[in-house]
Amino acid sequence: MCASPLTVQAHHLRHAERRGVARKASDKWAVPLCVHCHMNCHTRGDESDWWKKKSRKNPIQWAETFFAQWDSKGDKP
C-alpha cells in the first residue's frame, strides 16, 4: 500500500466479514501491507477509518482482486 521496502505481511481485513470471537477473517480478505502499516492498522480502533485516512484503495476491492488472481491459478492444496 505505501510502497515501503520493508517486509510485506498479509493483513486480514477485519471489517470485511462477520467473524467469531478471536477469529481472523478468511484468506479471501487478505491484502499485503508492510510491517509498519500492518501494525499501525492493528493499533487503530476502527479499521475502516484507518483505510479511509491512509489509502486511496478500497481494501475490499483490493482483496477481491488478489483472491480472484489466486483462485484462477488452480494450484490450491
Q: Is this structure's pTM higher than 0.75? A: no
- The whole-number pLDDT of residue 42 equals 85
Using CB atoms within 10 A of its CB, is residue 49 exposed (0-12), middle (13-18) or buried (19+)? exposed
| Residues 6+ positions from 59 with CB-CB distance below 8 Å | 13, 16, 31, 51
Percent composition of the chain: helix, strand, coil (DSSP 3-state, to 5): 45, 15, 40
- The whole-number pLDDT of residue 22 equals 60
Rounded (5°) CA angle 35-31-12 = 85
- The whole-number pLDDT of residue 4 equals 79
Name residues of the chain where pLDDT drops below 50.
Answer: none
Structural domain boundaries of the chain?
1-15+26-64
The one-letter amino acid code at 4 reads S
- The whole-number pLDDT of residue 76 equals 54
CB 66 within 8 A of CB 8: no
